[in-house]
Amino acid sequence: MDLIPHVIDGRETESRESLPTVDPYTRRPWARVALGGKDEAGRAVTAARRAFDEGPWPRMGFAERGAVLHRLADLIEANLDDLAMADTTDMGKPIADTRSKDVPRSAANFRFFADHARLSSAETLPMDSGHHAYTRYEPAGVVAAIAPWNFPLMLETWKVAPALAWGNTVVLKPAEQTPASATLLARLALEAGMPPGVLNVVHGFGPGSVGEALTADPRVDRITFTGESATGRAIAAAAAANLTPVSFELGGKGANLVFADADLDLAVSWSVKAIFGNAGQVCLAGSRLFVQREVFDPFLERFVAAAEALVPGDPKDPATQLGPLSSAEHYAKVKGYIDGVPGDGGKIVTGGVADEGLFVRPTVVLDAPPDARVRREEIFGPVVTVTPFGAEDEAVAAANDTRYGLNAMVFTENLSRAHRVSAALRAGTVWTNCFFVRDLRAPFGGAGDSGIGREGGTYSREFFTEPKAAVMAI
Ligand code: NAD
């Protein structure tokens, strides 16, 4: 069986121990991955530190660095099949999605941030006193990027691309469940001409392992993390010891508001994608659906029909729309939520765990009271609560009744309502009549338990650089 190595200082490296990485569809190990720990994390930070302090990467012009990142994007596109299959095999995500979304978006991340950094202009401030002040965006240094398993390559590149474009060096720790695409990425980066030590990949666990070692290392200048809110708390505590700045994209419990004046076909089609895409393993999932009473019954009927029509199956089959959950542990967690629905006062109208493998059928829950676990906690599976509402302010209050604040969706044909409700919702992104549409210049992140800070365009620049004010007397 193949071994997925670390990539440290431009070299592929193994560890004394290795770990099987399991295909959740076959439920069998399909490769082994080097199991790093504190030592490997330390060596990777040493390499990244040296590449930053002594190497050419932070000293290159934006165009030269950008050219390497564009070459990397070309190589990602040229290796689309391998990268897509790596993520699909590691986590069970349908190959149709990894091929059409995850991998192309990963290439786009490199292209966008290469160009954005090159074309970014800084402030120039002529002062009344006759002085001149201007801003220099200098790379922050060594970035630790810690990623989750649900969009492995796409979320890793969302961190790595801006960090590299601004001249930083990186140690990337992919999730232990989905290591394969990160090693492929590091290989392609070397092939694109990136100097050794600029992008390092270390595999291992979080607590007591690579993740914790990276977050506690005083030689790390920035920590960018995507994952669970509870993990964010542990990382924030570790980062506090060194005052290391953090950027956190954490959990979510997205509200999806369907008003009576919505285009119902559109609302049904997006609402199904919003909660059942990637088997609901999406931080942005529209897991709390609120539907105005006048259209509740027709909406529910069509929504349930569309959910039941999703095609489950082998994620490597291009026709599959719904894969298994990513691991046996995660399946057990989601099953626990479904089992708890009746006890909490809810009613399952369709779905539940399937008879085979790690599949959960699209599950629709009615009558869940506001304090039910399915309505309050992030399930991270294909489970949605559907609740009727009367007036607009009632819907907004219900949507905002959460500790999370990542995103929300609004379906209405009334423009004034769209603006009003977008303003009233407490969320980092509000999508009207769509879902998951991204402009890489826009801020991305969440309020409350959903995160700290924003990434995207200038927001990534603020995090991955040390903006310096240069002030001159004339
Ligand atoms: P997780 O928090 O369990 O793990 C994420 C990463 O953190 C892994 O690489 C893990 O090894 C590492 N880690 C765990 N404990 C650590 C520690 N103490 N120190 C350092 N590193 C540690 O999350 P997950 O289960 O992989 O991913 C699912 C979660 O990610 C969900 O909550 C989801 O909402 C969230 N997520 C958020 C966004 C977003 O943009 N807001 C996007 C995708 C996923």
Task: Tell which atom from ligand 1 comes closest to the C-alpha of 176.
Answer: 11
* Distance from the alpha carbon of residue 433 to the mean position of ligand 1, in angstroms: 29
**Helix/strand/coil percentages in the chain, nearest 5:** 40, 25, 35
Tell me the domain boundaries of the chain. 2-250+450-473, 255-432
Homologous superfamily (CATH) of 2-250+450-473 is Aldehyde Dehydrogenase; Chain A, domain 1 (3.40.605.10)
Pocket test for ligand 1, best of 87, 90, 146 (most atoms within 8 A of CB): 146
Is ligand 1 within 6 A of the CB of residue 235?
yes
Spans of the chain below 70 pLDDT: 1
pLDDT tens, residue by residue, 136-179: 999 999 999 999 999 999 999 999 999 999 999 999 999 999 99
Nearest Cα to Cα of residue 303 among 356, 338, 265: 265
Q: Are strands 28-34 and 18-23 parallel, antiparallel or unpaired?
A: antiparallel
Nearest to 146 by CA among 179, 97, 118, 107: 179
End-to-end CA gap in the chain:
67
Q: Please state which CATH number belongs to domain 255-432.
A: 3.40.309.10
| Global model pTM greater than 0.90 | yes
Q: How many CB atoms lie within 10 A of CB 63?
A: 10
- Residue 434 CA to residue 370 CA, distance in Å, equals 26
Annotated active-site residue in 40, 176, 249, 455: 249
Work out whether strand 465-472 and strand 255-258 pair parallel, antiparallel, or are unpaired. Answer: unpaired
Specify the pLDDT at position 354: 87
pLDDT digits (tens, 9 = 90+) for 290-326: 999 999 999 999 999 999 999 999 999 999 999 999 9
User: DSSP secondary-structure letter at 100?
Assistant: I
Q: Which atom of ligand 1 is nearest to the CA of 248?
A: 41
pLDDT at 1: 61
Question: Rounded to 5 degrees, what are φ and ψ at 379?
Answer: -90, -35
